[in-house]
Structure 1
Amino acid sequence: MMLSLRVSALLLAVSATPVAAQDVAPQAEQPAAAAAADDTPPAADAAFTSFIAGLRARAIAEGVKPQTFDRETAGLTFNPRVIRLDRGQPGGTLNAGQPGPMEFASYRRSHVDQAHIDKGRTLYQTLSAQLAGNEARTGVPGKVALSIFGLETGYGVYTGSFDLIRSFATLAYEGRRRALFTAELIATLKLIDRGFTRAEMKGSWAGATGYPQFLPSVYLRLAADGDGDGKADIWTNKADALASIAAYLREAGWKPATPWGVAATIPADFDRSSVRSPLVSPRCPRVHARLSRWLTISEWKAKGVVIAGFPAPADGELARLLEPDGPGMTAYLLTTNYGAILDYNCSNFYAMSVGLLSDAVSR
């Protein structure tokens, strides 16, 4: 799996090892929480103001208009709430190189629920032409992009209300990931130079914005015009957001005409140690430690694994085994396309939910 264009940056944004060290994807920011005012009034900070002023030359050298930088940073203040949220992110470690037990069922009930399925099915029909066009261009099924849209923001219901410029400036000044957040601050200013307004530049406290919850730098790389109006608007335009998600997954290595995975039944006497991966992922190792080594579908069948879902990957397709609710429960054989979903958000719970929701909305 290639280095994430969205999530590796966002994972670094929210903590050293947040979702990557967990298996549970974070809950999307809800409207009430997003709209809450800072509980500590921002204080005048001469050092913060000096730091921001010191970024002016770099921003201009990278193409930001001087008047844009001056206007959008005038009166900018430090946001202590962003730092509290950043430092409050969960972490996690491996135990002797192996993660603990996994319980996906309750997460699935709240994310692949009837509300998500029903709304997804409605949009799947309403946006069928755009979704088909995206798939023709990228190879990414519309149902998969739609499911990411649903899980990221509730199909656009909650996208975050933090001012991106203030959040990025605060996180850059705080310093733990200064290079990342300085680059995202400059990218946000470039979006304003492109005609988007400061009011549109809202998102999560960590800077994920719009329907797909992209970082601004990812927008600059990958945002796509889904309806042919000459503008890629991921904040209010569902067609553009879905086209952009599809573009992301294509860049992450999505293989056309290949399922993300399929349900399977594991024999009672199956030797799991025989398929344990000897590799340690350099990114979100706890997530990847739950996945087996790669075998072809034919090789899995030869080990007694029975395909229990549809459509099944071709016999020659490589897949990894995951048992999200432990031995004796439904298992899944996961293709490289599951890896592309993990690239979007490195959480097995999240990636499983995307795959299962996509299957449900297309039925």
Structure 2
Amino acid sequence: MISRVALLTIGLAGSSLAAQADPLAPLPDRRVTQAAVQAPFAQPALPTPIVTGFAGYKQYLSSKARAARVREATIQATIPYLALNDRVIRLDRAQPGGVNNPNAIPPFEPYRRRHVTSSLISRGKARYRANYSRLVDIDRRYGVEPQVLMAIYGHETSYGAVTGGFDLLNALATLAYEGRRRSFFEDEFVAALQLLDRGTPRSRLKGSWAGATGFPQFMPSNVLRLAVDGDGDGYANIWSSEPDGLASIANYLRDAGWKPNVHWGIPVRVPSTLNRAAIVTRLTAPRCEAVYKRHSQWKTMREWRALGVRPVRRTLPDNEMATLIEPDGPNATAYLLSTNYRAILDYNCSNFYALSVGLLADAIAGD
């Protein structure tokens, strides 16, 4: 989550000069290695651990924490008492191939029906109205559409009702020890220790089995870097302050490249004459390749209209860049996606997730 947005300069045949570069190239995985960002000194290289059971691995975690300048008192109060969580291991091993698995992509519509429900819409509208003045303030500060913040909040935790009850330190240590994504979870474990050093009570460090916590479901490294005070009390409390949680989501999206005053995307009708082979993207994404491969080349709204693609309700400015996605295949609902859609993907690199967030946001705002 360090590097800023960079333009790709790969030429795309059959599009204008403005469309020959990806206006928002996929960013490095923002959930991977943020603990190093928080450390005040460069971390010395550590040898690959010789794991002699979990007890031996905990000694390695202690050395890694010391290298990141975690207080010795925090290490001694935490690491010796860690225990493997067999349920976390079972849940991790039960995960499917993931969003990078290009095989047998299911249709979007069943997912949409499960994640853009009447309950989520009605509860989102109520919270949107109740928090409207504060949401306007957050929008003024971060430039992110308030309904998108509410939709992510609803999608991630059902508006704070389901934030997870796993002890983060045990879950992250277990996932690191298991080894499928060892480096990732080791860094997040150290970031969680740094949260303790900052004064976050251990009792607050609860969340999902995968280590996400609070109303925004941030990984610990993202809490360190992107959690902000939204209610003006001087503290960034994403666990019990709804304004702090919403402002932190806005801060995340802005950091991911959100462009103010641009909608995430719009539903469109695609003509039967559209030559899809001519608009296939030639960009290779540095991560989540299968996710981005489903997007077309970038074109301006003016160019899409010239190809016969027509907005269903709202539209985007003529000079705004957008890509086309048909998540249920031809002859079904399609969407033109702005660069801000990529910021939502940075939160969770899944087209189904990002589309459902955008559609829930539209429903909450009454669009």
What's the TM-score once normalised by structure 1's chain length?
Answer: 0.85
Match of 1:340 in 2: 343
Distance in 1 separating the partners of 2:68 and 2:227: 19
Q: Aligned match of 1:54 in 54, 57, 60?
A: 60
Match of 2:5 in 1: none
Query: Is 1:124 aligned to 2:128, yes or no?
Result: yes
Q: 1:299 to 1:329 in 2, by over 3 A?
A: same
- Could you report, residue by residue, the CA deviation over 1:93-123 in whole angstroms, capped at 9, with x for unpaired residues? 989xx76555222211121111011111111
Distance in 1 separating the partners of 2:31 and 2:359: 21
Distance in 1 separating the partners of 2:186 and 2:272: 53
Match of 1:292 in 2: 296
Query: Is 1:361 aligned to 2:361, yes or no?
Result: no
- Could you report, residue by residue, the CA deviation over 1:155-179 in whole angstroms, capped at 9, with x for unpaired residues? 1111111111111111222233322
Distance in 2 separating the partners of 1:184 and 1:295: 38
Distance in 1 separating the partners of 2:125 and 2:99: 38
Q: Aligned match of 2:199 in 186, 195, 201?
A: 195
Deviation for aligned residue 1:247 = 0.4
Matched letter for residue 339 of structure 2: T
Match of 2:251 in 1: 247
How many pairs were matched up? 326
Distance in 2 separating the partners of 1:280 and 1:88: 29
Q: 1:2 to 1:232 in 2, by over 3 A?
A: farther
Q: Aligned match of 1:260 in 240, 260, 264?
A: 264
For the Cα contact (< 8 Å) 1:6–1:214, is it kept in 2? no
Q: 1:48 to 1:124 in 2, by over 3 A?
A: same
Query: Is 1:174 aligned to 2:171, yes or no?
Result: no
What's the TM-score once normalised by structure 2's chain length?
Answer: 0.84
Distance in 1 separating the partners of 2:361 and 2:115: 12
Note the residue ranges of structure 2 that are not aligned, 5 or more in a row. Answer: 1-24, 35-50
Distance in 2 separating the partners of 1:204 and 1:176: 17
Note the residue ranges of structure 1 that are not aligned, 5 or more in a row. Answer: 11-44
SS in 1 for 2:162: coil
Query: Is 1:302 aligned to 2:326, yes or no?
Result: no
Distance in 2 separating the partners of 1:268 and 1:203: 47
Q: Aligned match of 2:279 in 275, 278, 286?
A: 275
- Could you report, residue by residue, the CA deviation over 1:13-72 in whole angstroms, capped at 9, with x for unpaired residues? xxxxxxxxxxxxxxxxxxxxxxxxxxxxxxxx9731222123324323423221111112
Distance in 1 separating the partners of 2:185 and 2:98: 23
Match of 1:144 in 2: 148
SS in 1 for 2:69: coil
Match of 1:108 in 2: 112
Match of 1:14 in 2: none
Alignment of 1:311-350 (within 5 A): 312-350=315-353
My pick for the range that moved more, 226-235 or 178-187, is: 178-187
Distance in 1 separating the partners of 2:99 and 2:120: 32
For the Cα contact (< 8 Å) 1:111–1:353, is it kept in 2? yes
Deviation for aligned residue 1:6 = 4.0
Distance in 2 separating the partners of 1:258 and 1:213: 25
Deviation for aligned residue 1:348 = 0.9
Match of 1:64 in 2: 70
Distance in 2 separating the partners of 1:66 and 1:101: 48
Deviation for aligned residue 1:152 = 0.5
Which structure would you say has the larger RCO, counting Cα contacts within 8 Å and 6 or more residues apart?
1
For the Cα contact (< 8 Å) 2:31–2:222, is it kept in 1? no
